[in-house]
Structure formats: structure tokens, C-alpha cells
Amino acid sequence: LMELLSSFGTMCEEPETVEFTCGDAMNYHGYDYATVQIGGQCWFAENLRTAHYTTGDALAQFVPDSIWIESIEPTVSYYNESIADCDGLFLDNNECSIPVIEDCGLLYNGFALSSPIGLCPSGWHVAEKPEFDLVLTFLLEHGWDGAIGQGLFSQEVGFNAQKGGYRLHNGDFLHKDEYAYLWTNSVGPGGRWLIKFNETTEEMLWLDYSLPRHGLSVRCLKDTE
């Protein structure tokens, strides 16, 4: 046995690890998210579309209005959802492909943001308001272009603000292709901070009164080293 081992060697080579560089795709729950470097920050260049926590545990998914109105559970939705679209189940490996999810990601209620488990990949997080302030300052300094595609602002920078609308606390859907609404991970005097924006800087607003039963888009930011 010893002679055999000495002939073939006993050392196993460690698998090569590829270091992530911002701009590379970030695979999370079976989907490759585009990423973009903006100033000193590394962002997802598209909205989150997973129906699972960081741990892989599932959130409540695609509930009817009657449940959405009353639920205090972390829940995901998509714009004008229909249970029949995917038999009530969204699969992160894209076996269930719905155009609005492909274009704009999912809508998460505020209870999903409050969970200590987290929605973003390990090493990433939902941005705080001051972190959004930094990227917005950068984008304003480098040009604002909201007239292209789904509503990209500062196309050259590549943040890609997708105008996915939102779901109201009563279950109604509003403002797709008009506004983008993004949750932050910061809480203000009136509730969790969110940002709403459209093609022009004049229509960019910070709001801090959104109800936790509202469904908004989520964007992930890489932790600082």
C-alpha cells in the first residue's frame, strides 16, 4: 500500500478559487447577477429576484390580496402576479420564467427587510440610506439618463434603475414603467426609508413613511472590506 501511495502521490491539489472582481457576475441561488463598480461601491446592476433568504430558506411567495393585506410574514411578489403563471411557485433556477421578473425582479414586503437572516448573498447587504446617498451623488455628477429602456439613469455608470412599480398594502399594483421604488435598510421617523425616482432628478424623492405591507424592489451592495 505504501509503495502504491508513493507511486501515485498522496497530496490532493486544492481546487482553484477565482477571486471576485466587481463587474464579474455574482451567482446567487442559481442566477448570475450583473455587478457594477460605482465610486468605491460594488452594486448589483439589477434588482433582486430570489424568493429565498441567504440561507436558502424560502420566503412566503405570491399570495393573494386577502393574505397580502393581513400578513406580517416576509413575503415576495411580482408585478400583476397571477398564481397560474407558475402554479404558485417561483424557482430560482429560472424553470419558471416570467417576463416581468426577468425585467424588474421581485417585490419584497417590509417584513422581508426586517428579518435578521438577510436577503442578499453572504458578503452583501441591502444598502443603508447613507450608502444610497453616496451612489446617488455619484450618479448625479456623472449624468442622468432615464429615457432609455426600462428607465436607466446614468447609463454609462450602469446602475440600471428598473421602473418596476410597487405593490400597495391592499394588494394593488401601481406605477410599473413609471417609477422605480427601492427599499433601503434604514428606518426613519415615519417608517423604513425608500427611494423613488423617474427620468428626471426633480422626480427623485426620499420617502420614510412606507408601510411594511408595501412591496418594493431590493438592490444588494457588497460589504466593505
What tens digit of pLDDT does each residue of 107-140 get? 999 999 988 899 999 999 999 989 988 887 777 7
More confident residue, 132 or 85: 132
Q: Which residues contact residue 53 at a Cβ distance below 8 angstroms, ignoring those fewer than 6 apart?
A: 59, 115, 117, 118, 119
For 193-210, what is each residue's pLDDT tens digit? 888 876 655 455 677 667
Looking at residue 10, its pLDDT comes to: 47
For residues 121 and 220, the answer to whether their CB atoms sit within 8 Å is yes
Looking at residue 89, its pLDDT comes to: 52
Q: What pTM was estimated for this model as a whole?
A: 0.81
- Tell me which of 14-23, 60-69, 121-130, 143-152 is least confident: 143-152
For 32-56, what is each residue's pLDDT tens digit? 999 999 888 999 999 999 999 999 9
The DSSP string of the chain is -HHHHHHH-SPPPPPPPPPP-BTB-EEETTEEE-EEEETTEEEESS----SB-TTSPBPEES--HHHHHH--S-EEE-TT--GGGTTT---TTTTS--HHHHHH--EEEHHHHH-SS-SSPTTEEEPPHHHHHHHHHHHHHT----SBTTTBSSTTTT-----EEEE-TTS-EEEETT-EEEEEEEEETTEEEEEEE-SSGGG-EEEEEE-TT-EEB--EEEPP-
Q: Is 70 exceeded by the pLDDT of residue 141?
A: yes
Q: Is 60 exceeded by the pLDDT of residue 5?
A: no
Confidence band (pLDDT; 50, 70, 90) for 145?
low
Looking at residue 71, its pLDDT comes to: 87
Residues 159-166, mean pLDDT to the nearest whole number? 83
In whole angstroms, what is the distance from residue 71 CA to residue 215 CA?
12
**Cβ-count burial 114-146 (b if 16+ within 10 Å, e if not):** eeeebbbbeebbbbebebbebbbebbeeeebeb
Looking at residue 158, its pLDDT comes to: 76
For 88-111, what is each residue's pLDDT tens digit? 555 544 445 677 888 889 999 999
Looking at residue 209, its pLDDT comes to: 67
Looking at residue 215, its pLDDT comes to: 93
Per the document, the length of the chain is: 225
Residues 11-28, mean pLDDT to the nearest whole number? 76
